[in-house]
Amino acid sequence: MKLKILVIEDDPFISEIIQLYLEKHEFEVTIASDGEFGLDSFYNDTYDLVILDIMMPKMDGWEVCKRIRIDFETPIIMLTAKGETYDKVKGFDLGVDDYMVKPFEPEELVARIKAVLKRTSSGFSAKECVTYPSLTVNLTEYRVYLNGQEIDMPLKEISLLYYLASHPNRVFTRQQLIDVLWGFEFDGDPRTVDVHIKRVREKIKDNPSWTLKTIRGVGYKFEVVTNE
Q: Whole-structure pTM over 0.95, yes or no?
A: no
Burial of 83 (0-12, 13-18, 19+ CB in 10 A): exposed
192 shares its domain with 107: no
* 211 shares its domain with 110: no
> How many of the other CB atoms lie within 10 Å of CB of 128?
16
Whether residues 70 and 105 share a domain: the answer is yes
In the predicted model, what is the mean pLDDT of residues 45-52?
93
- Angle CA 180–184–186, to nearest 5: 100
List, for residues 143-165, the tens digit of each pLDDT value: 899 998 999 998 889 889 988 99
- Please tell me whether residues 9 and 113 are part of one structural domain: yes
Q: Please indicate, yes or no, whether residues 116 and 141 belong to a single structural domain of this protein.
A: no
Q: How confident is the model at residue 49 (pLDDT cuts 50, 70, 90)?
A: very high
Is residue 114 within 8 A of residue 128, CB to CB? The reply is no
pLDDT band, residue 21 (cuts 50/70/90):
confident
Cβ atoms of 163 and 181 within 8 Å: the answer is: yes
CATH number for the domain harbouring residue 71: 3.40.50.2300
- Boundary of a domain, candidates 120, 146, 170: 120
CATH number of residue 162's parent domain: 1.10.10.10
pLDDT tens-digit readout, 93-142: 888 888 888 878 787 888 888 878 877 765 555 557 889 999 999 877 78
Give the other-Cβ count within 10 Å of 107's Cβ.
15
pLDDT tens digits for 54-107? Answer: 888 889 989 999 999 998 989 999 987 766 666 777 777 888 888 888 878 787
76 and 158 inside one domain = no
Of 169, 161, 167, 127, which is closest to residue 144 (Cα–Cα)?
161
Domain that holds residue 173: 129-224
In a shared domain, residues 51 and 149: no
Structural domain count of the chain: 2
Q: Do 16 and 115 reside in the same domain of the chain?
A: yes
136 & 219 share domain: yes
